[in-house]
Homo-oligomer: A and B are copies of this chain.
Amino acid sequence: MDPLLLSLLAALVSIFVGLYFYKRVNDHDPGTPRMVEIAGAISEGARAFLKRQYMTLAIFVVVVGIILTFFIDVNMAIAYVIGAVCSGLAGLLGMDVAIKANVRTANASRKGINQAFKVAFYGGAVMGLAVVGLALLGITVLYWIYKDVNIVLGFSFGASSIALFAKAGGGIYTKTADIGADLVGKVEMNIPEDDPRNPAVIADNVGDNVGDVAGMGADIFDSYVASIIAAMILGVEIMEIKGALFPLLLAAAGILASVIGMYFVKIRKKEHPGAALNRGTFSTCIVFAILAYLVSIFLGVDINIYLATIAGLVAGVVIGITTDYFTSIDRPLVKNIAESAKTGAAINILSGFSFGLISVAPPVIGICIAMVIAWNLAGIYGISIAAIGMLSITGMIVSSDAYGPIVDNAKGIAEQSHLGEKIIAIADQLDAAGNTAKAVTKGFAIGAAALTVLALFAAYAEITEISSIDLMNPYVITGAFIGAMMPPLLCALLILGVGKNAFKMVEEIRRQFKEIPGLMKGKAKPDYARCVDIATKGALKELILPSILSLVVPVATGFLLGKYALGGFLAGSILTGIIFALLMANAGGAWDNAKKYIEEGNFGGKGSEAHKAAVVGDTVGDPFKDTAGPSINTLITVMSLSASVFAPLILKYMLIR
């Protein structure tokens, strides 16, 4: 039996199970007319954004496709376009079901927490299965046709470009709306979150879907594909075709493990919903470890290579758990940050920022240990396989992750449709579980991205026939400096983008409250569409510069300073990329939870001076954790891929040899 058939089969299973879940979600009742109306507004706003975004992307994809056709290879261009389309499709599908699942989860809450949890989780699972299914399908088919991993690289590059736009654009959108809504609604007008009188409330809900669902899906799609392809490139060098098949079958094993793991995601008697999600993740890990062993026996792969897979998997879990320590509301650090809010906003920010910096250490050490173990087991191929080990369970990870924004939105819809205290309490419980799961999955995502880019770095060296990237060479150091500057630069551009748009949003919300009579009393409806429009236009405008920089700077470095400098560039970008990604994610998460901790009644509770200070911290953290942080993963992947894809051209024309 052709092993590729197995991989194809797994991809199709994933897609079909996903479609089945989609149907199950869709079969639920969307609820009252008011709920249908709100869901309609969210859906409309999200589609409008995605349509405009995809149109911009289409131009971009066509331009890059033409460049690839003329300068590299037409087949590479085809693979590129397919990669972009698959990634976009996964995002679209995931967002579509999320919008359906939001309102249905809210409605199902009326029947109890178990019902609601199921709808939300199945909604998330559609996204998870779509991501892994479409990714594996695309890679398998392209490899089957071309039998050339370098062409499949184009698929990964396509997925990455889309991911960067989706993540950065969605990230700017969601935080523009969120910060704008909060600054005027909560702080100035003293109305609660998700209040229908707030003109930005729909934009805020749309943001959760385009940023946290579609953006996140594209982001992980990107890492997932890149890790498989990096391993294939390195694998064929040492074991020929078997080296390419092993990553594919590991991915297939991961898909089956995820589907089995999803079976375990059920709330047992009086159990906290978060426990159900975590049980799913851990079952998936165990099943994957067994299936991966069978795969390595089936292909006759060295046991050491199998162990490298497990090293990656274990490191992922460890990273997830340590992340939890720094951001969980039940841990001392978050309480410490909350306490520091008593001295004012500045100290709150300083302590959250500092703990964010410290939180970088454990996962980085975890990544290094996994890398060194994997390398000792199986050389550089081992590192790439460890990355797959981490990412193999992506199906399950994305499902838990997408669950978060779905329940978050469900809560919003419940509040806007006045479903009552009890229902909102259920939605709250579901939401809290989403946050717990998120910490674990976020650790996975960053760890996996780190190992993936390390593997891509090795793949770049393989492609450019570099045997050593020497830090004693000043061009390499220069490259490393430029590369190291890219993640902070991207962070800055994205955060400024959010700030600029939030400023406009605030002005618009203030204007509506001033000019629409009766709005505050709930007698008139706000102009939701205007706010959606500001967020959409702003996000698209602000993502262009960072996206272009991320494609142009590495290639320009290669042309001007040579292939070794470009190697240094990639290494530099990985170092600071991982540090900034972790800092942004964890500091943001910690501020958010510190605020929640105060809202639970500690240090003066809601409305106290400490609370006001914590709100400032939370607002600073918003673009940290939801815009800049997650975009860095994609940035470093897209830069690595860009270097590898344009390597033939760089080798030909580089100025310094």
Contact = CB atoms under 8 A, between A and B. Distances in A.
Given A357-B488, A489-B361, A495-B353, A344 B619 contact: yes
Given A357-B491, A575-B576, A576-B484, A477 B344 contact: no
A474 B379 CA distance: 9
A354 B542 CA distance: 14
Interface stretch (A522-530, A565-573, A629-637): A565-573
A506 interface: yes
A495 B576 contact: no
Interface string A393-405: 0000000000000
Interface in A467-509: 467-472, 474-478, 480-482, 484-485, 488-489, 491-493, 495-496, 498-499, 502-503, 506
Interface in A172-193: 179, 183, 187
Contacts of A41: none
Contacts of A355: 492, 496
Interface in A355-411: 355-358, 360-361, 364-365, 367-368, 371-372, 375, 380, 383
Interface string A564-595: 00011001100110110001000000000000
A571 B357 contact: no
A113 to B, nearest CB: 34
A224 B383 CA distance: 42
A241 interface: no
A550 interface: no
Interface residue SS majority, chain A: helix
Contact of A475 (B372, B476, B567): B372
B480 A372 contact: no
A571 B380 CA distance: 22
Interface in A433-472: 454, 458, 461, 466-472
A481 B346 contact: no
A637 to B, nearest CB: 17
Contact of A477 (B356, B454, B579, B616): B454
Contact of A481 (B368, B458, B467, B493): B368
A481 B347 CA distance: 29
B345 A499 contact: no
A350 B485 contact: no
A211 to B, nearest CB: 17
Given A495-B350, A619-B346, A458 B484 contact: no
A643 interface: no
Interface residues of A, number: 75
Contact of A351 (B461, B499, B572, B578): B499
A623 interface: yes
Nearest to A470: B468
B474 A375 contact: yes
A620 interface: yes
Contacts of A454: 477
A32 interface: no
A69 interface: no
A354 B491 CA distance: 7
A361 B480 CA distance: 13
Contacts of A351: 495-496, 499
Interface string A288-327: 0000000000000000000000000000000000000000
A349 interface: yes
Contact of A485 (B364, B481, B616): B364
Contacts of A468: 468, 470, 472
Interface of A: 179, 183, 187, 340, 343-347, 349-351, 353-358, 360-361, 364-365, 367-368, 371-372, 375, 380, 383, 454, 458, 461, 466-472, 474-478, 480-482, 484-485, 488-489, 491-493, 495-496, 498-499, 502-503, 506, 567-568, 571-572, 575-576, 578-579, 583, 616-617, 619-620, 623
8 contacts: A343-B502, A344-B616, A347-B619, A354-B495, A355-B492, A368-B482, A371-B477, A372-B478
Given A183-B344, A360-B485, A480-B575, 12 more contacts: A347-B503, A347-B619, A349-B349, A354-B492, A354-B499, A365-B482, A367-B481, A468-B468, A469-B470, A484-B575, A484-B576, A488-B579
